[in-house]
Amino acid sequence: MLKDITIGQHYPTGSVIHKLDPRTKILITFALIVGLFIINRFVGYIFVIAFIAAAITISKIPFKYMIKGLKPLYVLIMITFLINVFMTSGEILLSIGPVNVTREGVYQAVFMAMRLILLVIGTSLLTLTTSPIMLTDGIEHLLNPFKKIGLPAHELAMMMTIALRFIPTLLEETDKIMKAQIARGADFESGNIINRAKSLVPLLVPLFISAFRRADELAMAMEARCYRGGEHRTRMKALKMEKRDFISSGITMVFIGILFYTRAM
């Protein structure tokens, strides 16, 4: 299960999407998130699915790899689905004791589940097609205008990128700790959900110790290299908007316009 989490990982293929300016990809991802939340009917999802499917195809990332990233979220998706099914009032289709299943509840449950799935897949494309360094530079450039009001753009960008980059590292460390404890007789598979959750508690202490140790090592490494960042920092590769970035932005604007049109229909 831990190996199925793809968020924070980079999958280089050398595609056109990988070569896009990180600022373009961040803004397109933000536009996709906004688009998903302005949809109010299923017809809008047709355009979103087409948009995401085209992006995955162009990025050359295997579709199975994208779907694999949903496995750790199955429980969350199911809980969201059930809450909407049983908590939405309307025309009753089925009664299970004191609980009613309504037509509106089923509609809302499917609607919200699709939104969550497309949100995860769409946002995962950002980290899968952008290296951590480029992602840091892109976020910093987008936050630069806010420096005038005292916002530490570089520090915020660095923190967000390090947090994303450490997700796969911590998952790998968790997997190692679990295997070590299983070799010593620990049982993480048997019992109900509550028992399984309790069996994971012994993982927290060594995992937190490992995380703090890695953070300290990273800080010492940055200090040893006299890393300062921020002002007067030079870059080996300067960000530059190219023709493909403007074309991608134009396609995204058309896509958002279509979603607004479907909402107003």
Same domain, 195 and 134: no
- For tokens 């753009």, name the residue: 153
Residue 219 counted as domain residue: yes
Q: Residue 8: which pLDDT band, with cuts at 50, 70 and 90?
A: low
What is the predicted pLDDT for the residue at 2? 52
Same domain, 19 and 104: yes
Residue 159 counted as domain residue: no
Please, how many CA atoms are within 13 Å of residue 227, restricted to the half-sphere of its CB? 12
Q: Residue 191: which pLDDT band, with cuts at 50, 70 and 90?
A: low
pLDDT for residue 193 is more than 70 = no
Same domain, 144 and 71: yes
Which pairs from 57-64 meet CB under 8 Å and 24+ separation? 58/15, 58/16, 58/17, 59/13, 59/15, 59/17, 59/18, 59/125, 59/128, 59/129, 60/13, 60/14, 60/15, 61/11, 61/13, 61/125, 61/128, 61/129
Average pLDDT, the chain: 82
Same domain, 215 and 233: no
Same domain, 133 and 215: no
Instruction: Using a cut of 0.85, tell me whether the model's pTM lies above it.
Output: no
Q: Residue 78: which pLDDT band, with cuts at 50, 70 and 90?
A: confident
Same domain, 140 and 173: no
Same domain, 126 and 247: yes
Same domain, 62 and 173: no
Same domain, 206 and 79: no
212 class by beta-carbon count within 10 Å (0-12 exposed, 13-18 middle, 19+ buried):
exposed
Cα separation, 80 vs 16, whole angstroms: 35
Orientation angle between helical segments 22-38 and 103-128, nearest 10 degrees: 180
- Phi, psi (degrees; rounded to nearest 5) at 101: -105, 120
Same domain, 39 and 139: yes
Domain around 210: 164-228
Same domain, 260 and 198: no
- Provide the domain count of the chain: 2
